[in-house]
Amino acid sequence: MRVLKFGGTSVANAENISKVLNILEKESNKHTIAVVVSALGGTTDMLIETGTLATNRDEKYLNVYKQIVDRHNDAVEELIKGKAKEAVLKRINVKLEELKQILQGLYLINEFSNKTIDKILSFGELLSSYIISEAIQQTLKRSSLKDSRELIITDSTFTNAVVNTKETSNNISSFFKKNKDKIVVLPGFVSRNKDGETTTLGRGGSDYTAALIASATKATVLEIWTDVSGMYTANPKLVKQAFPIKEISYKEAMELSHFGAKVLYPPTVQPALQKNIPIHIKNTFAPNEEGTLITKKNTDKKEPVKGISHIENIALLTLEGNGMIGVPGFSKRLFSTLSRGNINVVLITQASSEHSICVGVYSTDSKKAKEIVDEEFIYEISKKKIKPLLVENNLAIVAVVGDNMKNHQGISGRMFRALGNNNVNVRAIAQGASERNISAVISHKDIKKALTALHNRFFEKQVKTLNLFIVGVGNVGGILLNQIKKQQDYLNENLLLNVKVVGISNSKKMIFNEEGIGLDCWKEQLRKGKKQSHKSFFETIKELNLSNSIFIDVTANKEVAKTYKDYLKESISVIACNKIACSSKYSDYRELKDLSRKYNASFLFETNVGAGLPVINTLNNLINSGDRITSIQAVLSGSLNFIFNNFDDNSSFHDIVKQAQEEGYTEPDPRIDLSGVDVARKILILAREAGYKLDLKDIKNQSFLPKESLEANTVDDFYKTLKAQASHFSELYKSAQKNDCQLKYVAEFNNGKASVGLKEIDKEHPFYNLKGKDNIVLFFTERYTEQPLIIKGAGAGAEVTASGLFGDIITLGRN
């Protein structure tokens, strides 16, 4: 004989039940089968809801009741044809009327006991099994219906009854010995106590009903038909990359289901295991897919981890106090108290100091646990030997499971590294004595991140996903998006990096897409986006809580720079093109560096100096390897270089500056470049990165601008002064010409002191031949004493700046 169980979704409506009938038709050709069914999907929840509403004297209970009536009537209307229909409709409506009477009773007496809950819940399975049995009768003859309550006998723990296995097994085997029908349909979940009162086997209990029948009849197989194609490596609703496990041992399946893999109700495994009956999990909606086979076999020796599961809504209870040390019996008293209160302990850890015991329970039990435990230890608490029970809510458990974990080293290392790298804080840890599972208690909000990170670590090619949030998608930002689009496939293949742009914003609008924004049409999407604000951009990123989130600032905005702190504190890395943060007050710069370290989030800003040139990276490498910077000489302004390289006798200084602005070499306000402030900020950042505590005011700035230009209030006025003061600028040129020199705007740092200013550079100097918008940096260090380490190349322009940002992104990805 075979036992087939169909879950709620599989029998949710007439359409799905037809699929079930097809499966039964095939299987009953060859075998005798027992068919265990759940209530029509969602009915059990609706029954609880209507019962609760009625108890609370809320008339809405009638609406929910009506929905229950309708869905059962609809199913009959569609499934049952001909004369039989009338009779079936009549019978289900008699049952539904009986339900209504009980609900009315609840409305009056205002009390919803567990006993009544079971009475009400049983309607779900009793109705579904009757309807399905009638539907089978129409097409496949020789079928019958048997009420499981006549077979499965339990104690009186209503809503979660304990089965008397001996009596139950006898009842089942003698019934099936006499049975002549090819198909017997039975309601899952329902049972009765020795007084004949209806009990139930706990939520999800239909699986268990089927296992009891399989075990008592020594069935050849127990098939659990559900809405997914087997037991997956992780809950497929949360982890998209999860896949069905082909074969798994009873113990592994038990462990995964105990830790939340809802596809199998935990008590189901034991009866099958005892009789060595294989359990096959199959998909009603894709019956040809292989599914998962659960047997005694300890499979795949190479892959130590079989699956990852999780339980939501966990509370951690901590009992602690010095009075516990060396005094036996505290754990015993704690556990007996919880057991007396019918509180299920999901996880246990104990500090080796014996100073505290920590257990995980379902959140729904935490209030009661606190009351009864504090009551139990009232004396010790009053004497301050222990503290009142500490309860932490909003937690969850993630568990990594596999029979072969015990034969492999380093699994827990990998597990906790994956969690740590994704900033998932672990509150407690437990490892089963069999080493078949390692579980961690984490915050509820981190579930998805933790599962994805663990799944990625144990089951996927080690592709790391970087989730980018880019603010400022003008010139440089736009080009960065283009570069990313072009390079995505290459990075995936060669560096195992999946670079995904999840959020972008300009000064007006912002958009987000967790799956990754389409980089072909981001401009249109952004136009239709939500109104932007720095706060809501940050809040959304925080809310998404994705692993490897990176905030990228491609603005020159002071307000954006102020938000870096918030990101780092959430362990979100920051990449800044914006120089403001690193060149503002030293204490602000220091704070960001410290936060970066404290929250394990990177803070990179290579493009602050020399656009895409590896200036800061090189400097960091020198320092980290133990070198010390003695002097820096540099030409760091792409725009000033462009201006002085093009300015000569035949051109006007005003026109050259205008051209530099139009070609995008200057800051939006050219005064920031021409006044030397931009260069001063850059040398300041280099000095700070070299380990010196400097502020902008410490940098000597000898301006080459005439007084009028320095005093101009607007950009327009500034341009006017450049025209009016043309002779001042041509004098500068002529003097350099006379001395056989070139004009360069130079930044210098020597033993703690920095300055910027225009200089006449002679032919011998490495700066003399600097072309176009190139930058050059000379580092003199304790190791590079005579000849400096030189970095030279284009130091401005949107393409190179974007590629510098891209470089920072990749550096982060490879960390």
Catalytic positions: 682
* DSSP string across 515-560: T---TTSHHHHHHTSEEP-HHHHHHHHHHH--TTEEEEE-S--HHH
CA-based nearest residue to 758, from 706, 810, 803: 706
**Amino acid residing at 755:** S
Among 51, 187, 188, 402, binds ligand ASP (CB under 6 A): 188
Size of the site for Mg ion (CB under 5 A): 2
Site string for ligand ASP, 3-22 (x = CB under 6 A): ----xx--------------
Q: Considering the complex, state which of residue 189 and residue 250 has its C-beta at the smaller distance from Mg ion.
A: 189
Among 11, 61, 99, 124, binds ligand ASP (CB under 6 A): 124
Least separation, in Å, of the C-beta of 208 and Mg ion? 10
Q: 């407690």: which residue's tokens?
A: 428
Q: Considering the complex, state which of residue 7 and residue 124 has its C-beta at the smaller distance from Mg ion.
A: 7
Q: 3-class SS at 802?
A: helix
Q: Which residues of 375-384 are buried (b: 16+ CB within 10 A; e: fewer)?
A: ebbeebbeee
Size of the site for ligand ASP (CB under 6 A): 13
Site string for ligand ADP, 190-219 (x = CB under 6 A): --------------x---------------
Q: Considering the complex, state which of residue 228 and residue 636 has its C-beta at the smaller distance from ligand ADP.
A: 228
Q: 């009959």: which residue's tokens?
A: 76
For residue 718, CA distances in Å to 557, 665, 674 come to: 22, 17, 10
Q: Considering the complex, state which of residue 267 and residue 529 has its C-beta at the smaller distance from ligand ASP.
A: 267
Least separation, in Å, of the C-beta of 262 and Mg ion? 6
Among 2, 3, 4, 9, binds ligand ADP (CB under 6 A): 9
Q: Considering the complex, state which of residue 285 and residue 586 has its C-beta at the smaller distance from ligand ASP.
A: 285
Among 7, 266, 271, 503, binds ligand ADP (CB under 6 A): 7
Name which of residues 39 to 78 contact ligand ASP (CB under 6 A).
39, 44
402 binds, among Mg ion, ligand ADP, ligand ASP, none (CB under 5 to 8 A by kind): none
Q: Considering the complex, state which of residue 188 and residue 360 has its C-beta at the smaller distance from ligand ASP.
A: 188
Q: 């307000």: which residue's tokens?
A: 559
Asked whether 765 and 776 are in contact (CB, 8 A), the reply is no
237 binds, among ligand ADP, Mg ion, ligand ASP, none (CB under 5 to 8 A by kind): ligand ADP
Beta strand extents in 771-810 (DSSP E only): 774-781, 789-794
Least separation, in Å, of the C-beta of 589 and ligand ASP? 58
Least separation, in Å, of the C-beta of 266 and ligand ASP? 12
Q: Considering the complex, state which of residue 230 and residue 304 has its C-beta at the smaller distance from ligand ADP.
A: 230
* Listed ranges 234-242, 423-431, 551-559, 786-794: which one lies at the site for ligand ADP (CB under 6 A): 234-242
Question: What percent helix, strand, coil does the chain show, rounded to 5?
Answer: 45, 20, 30
Asked whether 256 and 233 are in contact (CB, 8 A), the reply is no
Q: 């969602």: which residue's tokens?
A: 42
Least separation, in Å, of the C-beta of 389 and ligand ASP? 31
Name which of residues 306 to 335 contact ligand ADP (CB under 6 A).
307, 309
Q: 3-class SS at 357?
A: strand
Cα distance between residue 449 and residue 338, in whole Å:
32
Cα distance between residue 339 and residue 730, in whole Å:
93
287 lines the binding site for ligand ADP (CB under 6 A): no
199 binds, among Mg ion, ligand ADP, ligand ASP, none (CB under 5 to 8 A by kind): none
Least separation, in Å, of the C-beta of 263 and ligand ADP? 4
Among 2, 8, 273, 373, binds ligand ADP (CB under 6 A): 8
Residue nearest to ligand ADP (CB): 7
Name which of residues 4 to 23 contact Mg ion (CB under 5 A).
7
124 binds, among ligand ADP, Mg ion, ligand ASP, none (CB under 5 to 8 A by kind): ligand ASP
Question: Residue 548 contacts by C-beta under 8 Å, 6 or more apart in sequence?
Answer: 422, 464, 465, 466, 467, 573, 812, 813
> Which strands, in side-by-side order, build the sheet including 789-794?
699-702, 753-761, 742-750, 629-635, 774-781, 789-794
Instruction: Label residue 471 exposed, middle or buried (CB < 10 Å: 0-12, 13-18, 19+).
Output: buried
188 binds, among Mg ion, ligand ADP, ligand ASP, none (CB under 5 to 8 A by kind): ligand ASP
529 lines the binding site for Mg ion (CB under 5 A): no
Q: Can you give the length of the chain in residues?
A: 815
Cα distance between residue 717 and residue 722, in whole Å:
9
Question: Residue 236 contacts by C-beta under 8 Å, 6 or more apart in sequence?
Answer: 228, 242
CA-based nearest residue to 398, from 248, 269, 235, 226: 235
At residue 373, φ and ψ (nearest 5 deg) are -70, -45
Among 172, 261, 317, 683, binds ligand ADP (CB under 6 A): 261
For residue 744, CA distances in Å to 1, 261, 704 come to: 92, 69, 11
Q: Considering the complex, state which of residue 257 and residue 456 has its C-beta at the smaller distance from Mg ion.
A: 257
**CA 122 to mean position of chain CA atoms:** 38
* Listed ranges 198-206, 317-325, 341-349, 625-633: which one lies at the site for ligand ASP (CB under 6 A): 198-206
Q: Which residues of 18-31 are buried (b: 16+ CB within 10 A; e: fewer)?
A: ebbbebbeebbeee
Cα distance between residue 719 and residue 652, in whole Å:
12
Q: Considering the complex, state which of residue 335 and residue 362 has its C-beta at the smaller distance from ligand ADP.
A: 362
Least separation, in Å, of the C-beta of 262 and ligand ADP? 4
For residue 647, CA distances in Å to 95, 630, 650, 736, 737 come to: 97, 33, 8, 12, 12
708 binds, among Mg ion, ligand ASP, ligand ADP, none (CB under 5 to 8 A by kind): none
Q: 């998932």: which residue's tokens?
A: 424
Name which of residues 203 to 222 contact ligand ASP (CB under 6 A).
203-207
Asked whether 532 and 555 are in contact (CB, 8 A), the reply is no
Q: Considering the complex, state which of residue 126 and residue 595 has its C-beta at the smaller distance from ligand ASP.
A: 126
797 binds, among ligand ASP, Mg ion, ligand ADP, none (CB under 5 to 8 A by kind): none
* Listed ranges 90-98, 255-263, 593-601, 615-623: which one lies at the site for ligand ADP (CB under 6 A): 255-263
Site string for Mg ion, 250-279 (x = CB under 5 A): ------------------------------
Among 124, 187, 188, 204, binds Mg ion (CB under 5 A): 204
* Listed ranges 19-27, 199-207, 345-353, 594-602: which one lies at the site for ligand ASP (CB under 6 A): 199-207
Q: Considering the complex, state which of residue 261 and residue 660 has its C-beta at the smaller distance from ligand ADP.
A: 261
Instruction: Label residue 335 exposed, middle or buried (CB < 10 Å: 0-12, 13-18, 19+).
Output: middle
* Listed ranges 14-22, 176-184, 260-268, 413-421: which one lies at the site for ligand ADP (CB under 6 A): 260-268
CA angle in degrees (0–180, nearest 5) for 709-728-754? 65
Cα distance between residue 488 and residue 466, in whole Å:
11
39 binds, among ligand ADP, Mg ion, ligand ASP, none (CB under 5 to 8 A by kind): ligand ASP
Question: What separation, in Å, do the N-terminal and C-terminal C-alpha atoms of the chain show?
Answer: 57
Q: Residue 479 pairs with which residues in a beta bridge?
A: none
Cα distance between residue 111 and residue 106, in whole Å:
6
Size of the site for ligand ADP (CB under 6 A): 20
Six token digits for residue 797: 């322009």
Least separation, in Å, of the C-beta of 400 and ligand ADP? 12
Q: Which residues bind Mg ion (CB under 5 A)?
A: 7, 204
Binding site for ligand ADP (CB under 6 A): 7-10, 38, 204, 226-228, 231-232, 234-237, 261-263, 307, 309
Q: What residue ranges bind ligand ASP (CB under 6 A)?
A: 7-8, 38-39, 44, 124, 188-189, 203-207
